Amino acid sequence: MKIISGTIIDQESTLTFEEVCRAIHAEDQLIIQFIEYHIIQPKGASKTDWQFDDVALKRARLARNFYYDLEVNFEGIGLLIDMIERIGALENEIEKFRQR
Amino acid sequence: MDFKDYYQILGVSKTATLDDIKKQYRRLAHKFHPDISKEKGAEEKFKAMKEAYEVLKDPEKRKAYDQMASGHHGGDSFTPPPGWEFQSGAQGHSQHHAQADFSDFFESLFGQNRAGGRHQQSFSQDGEDQHSKIEITLEDAFAGSEKHVVLSQNGSSRALNVKIPVGIMDAQQIRLTGQGSPGVQGGKNGDLYLEIHIRKHPTFILDKKDIYLTLPVTPWEAALGEKIEVPTLGGTIAFTLPANAQTGQKIRLKGRGLPGKSPGDQYATLAIYIPEPKNAEQKALYEKMKKEMPFNPRKSS
């Protein structure tokens, strides 16, 4: 079977606004709201040069899921995602300590 | 296909009000949402709940379901009644539904692709992007590898071999152009986003691109600053300890973490292990040290 290669999304290989909308199945307006509420922060000054890296893509996907599944408002979504990231970082630290 | 008892799945009575249903869904969603929950099987449970909620929160769907459901029990074999027709007034949910991935039971009753629901499409439409997750080992991430991935696309499964690039980090996504849902009538294929999860390793702990490891050393290796062997993902390397090294001290092996444009480092935290004195002679060695090397690690300096 053929081996398929892809691109890692990171700070250099980013996605455009349209690509993010397609990737996470969200309408333009929803992503714009995420940006207005600082849930995701693309690089670039205006919509046409916005760039979304791996962190933005991951946060956008979570935000979309929470928006549809949990019936939380945008402030709540932002807070929830920040907390999830913090818990992840803490769990990693605990793991490092536990090994000793 | 099996009949689904949506009331049972959501844990509400058949007479529950819309408010009761909403409250119950919220309660369960907080517990089982796969992006939050650590419970086993949360993803499957949540999917079932979401489907049940989709029907029970919508008065039209709920009414149609109630009429059809009388006499059926969860798990019974089921086919939609002849002439089943459901036309919802509410539209504009299609984008949301597309990714929801509901059961055949739901699709046969309320889905857009149900038999007789929609006519054969005659205009071209691009396929949707897809998202999937795979688990790899830390060794896969370090050296790169190939992974067999099975996707569910339009109700059937498709297998592909994907190259895992060298140095990929946990939770990163690989974009595979044109490997998402196929386009219709000449439309472009969607892309596939493959999210990588690196499994926990028994020896090494990964943090972004850096590797952490606890390294046991003997008292004389630490005191004399001897050359020791350190395991790394790329194989064992020799390292000379600084003299008088202590437990908890970290040594940095530059560039020995995950490879990349700016490769990660490996940090080895030293842990000094003492040999257990097994006979009188060995005990005497400790006695000699006690006499000749007065030392109190509890005294603050």
pLDDT reading at B75 higher than 80: no
The token pair at B113 is 């692709």
Structurally, at CATH architecture level, domain B205-292 sits in: Sandwich (2.60)
Specify the fold of B6-110.
Helix Hairpins (1.10.287)
Average pLDDT over residues A26-31: 95
Q: In chain B, what are the domain boundaries?
A: 6-110, 130-198, 205-292
Distance CA B271, CA B219 (A): 10
B101: three-class secondary structure by DSSP: coil
Which domains occur in chain A, in start order?
17-98 (1.10.1660.10)
Kindly determine whether residue A58 and residue B171, on different chains, have CB atoms separated by under 8 Å: yes
CA nearest to A64 within chain B: B96
Of B212, B38, B194, the residue nearest B138 (C-alpha):
B212
**B134 Cβ under 8 Å from any chain A Cβ:** no
Contact by Cβ (8 Å): A38, A78: yes
* Maximum C-alpha span of chain B: 97
ipTM of the complex: 0.93
pLDDT of residue B301: 59
Kindly determine whether residue A1 and residue B146, on different chains, have CB atoms separated by under 8 Å: no
Kindly determine whether residue B214 and residue A99, on different chains, have CB atoms separated by under 8 Å: yes
pLDDT, tens only, B114-169:
544 445 667 888 999 999 999 999 999 999 999 999 988 777 889 999 999 999 99
Average pLDDT over residues B72-91: 74
Please write down the long-range contacts of B178-181, taking CB distance under 8 Å and 24 or more positions apart: B179/A4, B179/A6, B179/B130, B180/B127, B180/B128, B180/B129, B180/B130, B181/B127, B181/B128, B181/B129, B181/B130, B181/B153, B181/B154
Contact by Cβ (8 Å): B172, B166: no
Please measure the distance between the N-terminal and C-terminal CA atoms of chain A and give it in whole angstroms. 44
How many residue pairs from chains A and B have C-beta atoms closer than 8 A?
A: 106
Options 3.40.50.720, 3.40.1350.10, 2.60.260.20, 1.10.3720.10; CATH for B130-198 is: 2.60.260.20
Q: Which of A82-96, B231-245, B276-290 has the lowest mean pLDDT?
A: A82-96
**How many beta carbons lie within 10 A of that of residue B61, not counting itself?**
19
Of B262, B134, B141, B272, the residue nearest B201 (C-alpha):
B141
